[in-house]
Copies of this chain bind each other. A is one copy, B any other.
């Protein structure tokens, strides 16, 4: 029976290697590929998708899985490997190979169409791609099956176990709390809060500081790299080859820094699995909503905190003496934590960010449910922005064309951002409970204990627990908004000396 398990691991490692090849192709497409390379690349993606599909369909895999299921003497972790591969296989074979390949090829092409359309505000050329992607995803959802609504089948791709009805309630409740909080904070900030706007921060110096922070967090630069791309992302090819990107603008010091902290958090997760399980589901992330909790924790709970900057800010001032010499720590913290309803999700502050997600969720469920056509997206978007945030874009590149997700077929993905925000706050509370010296550590630039705690509590479990089960095990409760709201109130209350 140990033989069956060994064959299964062999299968898993092979599949993982193929996924890792897809990862290289995808990273390369975003960072290195020349303009005309798109057609060939889309073809390669489709071929690899077919290959992986064929592996899952191999009847020998089913035999092996069944032999493993009845095997005795497997460890709990080995049982997780069997269970999760069975889940992946059952899911994969529900979608016909031709459909899976068509999706892979279409999203590779569609992403390019989006990249062409966005700077030109060319909605006419983009909308048919959205329609095509939705149609393909709808066909996929029908193949996958669902209990309440087809959108559930898509959520399952990114956050196993999450349901549309559950997220609708969570997001609506959160919105109900955030809107009044936003009003209070706008008042507390006053009309002219401190700002970094208008200053120029040369990119070469930014690069040096970013690399220093990434290294200090504990990201292993011999098992990964940091590059630049239009949209920052993390591609974990293998726990020993994790690719991060950031983007620099000399007008915006914090954009690259927060991206680096954010992607660094993702990267530490990808590097944090147990070596003996490399290439199996025990060395894979639980879900996107847990992944995002890792990036957000480093970006926000750590990277926007007074503790963090009380040590790092003097160093940053040394790198940019002319630009920051005249601004004290309190002013800097207000500047980098400024709350302001704005058009672009990825640049949003911690309070308004989730209101962007609410809009994406509303639009996706409407598009997917047939209540909204792609041609109506622009209008629906602008109305939603007015309703949720009180600001309206004057062009689609600042509006519904801003994110790559829909062109990539990533429908059902956005809600995991909010799950990540909530879980980050919840996990950070648990970390502080477990390690009373944590804030002091951070105040002195020491991140080793935090990284180690996350490694043990979150990363090393691989896919052993689903998102809520993991939260319950580590924090004693399922995902909930209370710690996040308390965190915001505590932090901003402290910043402005008010009670929220």
Question: If the complex has contacts A34-B224, A222-B35, A241-B33, are A43 and B25 also in contact, measured as CB distance less than 8 A?
Answer: no
A44 to B240, CA, bound (A): 13
Q: A223-235 interface mask toward B, CB cutoff 8 Å, 1 = contact, 0 = none?
A: 1110000000000
Q: In the complex, A221→B33 CA distance in Å?
A: 11
Identify which of B21, B37, B43, B278 contacts A13 (C-beta below 8 A): B43
B41 near A241: Cβ-Cβ < 8 Å: yes
The answer to whether A50 touches B14, judged by C-beta atoms less than 8 angstroms apart, is yes
Contact of A40 among B32, B39, B50, B240 (CB under 8 A): B240
Q: By the criterion CB–CB under 8 Å, are A44 and B28 in contact?
A: no
Mark A residues whose CB is within 8 Å of B: 13-14, 17-18, 20-21, 24-25, 28, 32-37, 39-41, 43-44, 46-48, 50-51, 220-225, 237-241, 278-279
Chain A residues touching B, majority SS:
helix
A185 to B241, CA, bound (A): 51
- Compute how far the CA of A339 lies from the CA of B236 in the bound complex, rounded to whole angstroms: 49
Distance to closest chain B CB from A42 (angstroms):
9
Q: A32-B225, A34-B241, A222-B34 are in contact. Are A40 and B17 (CB under 8 A)?
A: yes
| Bound form: Cα–Cα A223–B13 in Å | 34
Apart from A34-B222, A36-B220, A40-B241, 16 more pairs, CB < 8 Å: A17-B43, A17-B47, A17-B48, A20-B40, A20-B43, A21-B21, A21-B24, A21-B25, A24-B24, A24-B28, A24-B44, A28-B28, A34-B223, A36-B241, A40-B237, A41-B238
Which of the residues B36, B51, B238 comes within 8 Å of A222, measured between beta carbons?
B36
- Alpha-carbon distance between A24 and B223 when the two chains are bound, in angstroms: 19
Contacts of A51 in B (CB 8 A): 18, 51
Which residue on B lies nearest to A47, using beta carbons? B17
Beta-carbon contact of B17 and A221 below 8 Å: no
Instruction: Give A242's nearest chain B residue, CB to CB.
Output: B34
Task: Please give the distance in Å from A66's CB to the nearest CB on chain B.
Answer: 23
Interface centre among A20, A34, A44, A240 (most CB of B within 10 A): A44
Residues of B with C-beta under 8 A to A43? 13, 17, 20, 279
In the A-B complex, the 3 residue pairs with the closest CB atoms: A40-B238, A37-B241, A17-B47
Of all chain B residues, the one with the shortest Cβ separation from A16 is B43
Task: For A21, give its contact among B36, B48, B221 (CB under 8 Å).
Answer: B48
Note all chain B residues with C-beta closer than 8 A to A40. 17, 20, 237-241, 278
Q: Which of B25, B32, B33, B223 contacts A36 (CB 8 A)?
A: B223
Interface contact A44-B32, CB-CB below 8 Å: no
27 CB contacts below 8 A, A to B, read A13-B43, A14-B50, A17-B43, A17-B44, A17-B47, A18-B48, A18-B51, A20-B40, A20-B43, A21-B25, A21-B44, A24-B24, A24-B28, A24-B44, A32-B32, A32-B225, A34-B221, A34-B225, A34-B240, A35-B223, A36-B223, A36-B241, A39-B240, A40-B237, A40-B238, A40-B239, A40-B240
The docked-state distance in angstroms from the alpha carbon of A278 to that of B44 is: 13
Residues of B within 8 A of A20 (CB): 40, 43-44
B223 touches A37 (CB 8 A): yes
CB distance from A430 to the nearest CB of B (A): 31
- B residues less than 8 Å from A50 (CB atoms): 14
A473 to chain B, nearest CB (A): 29
* Bound-complex Cα distance A223 to B221 (A): 31
Query: Do A36 and B240 touch across chains, with their CB atoms under 8 A apart?
Result: yes
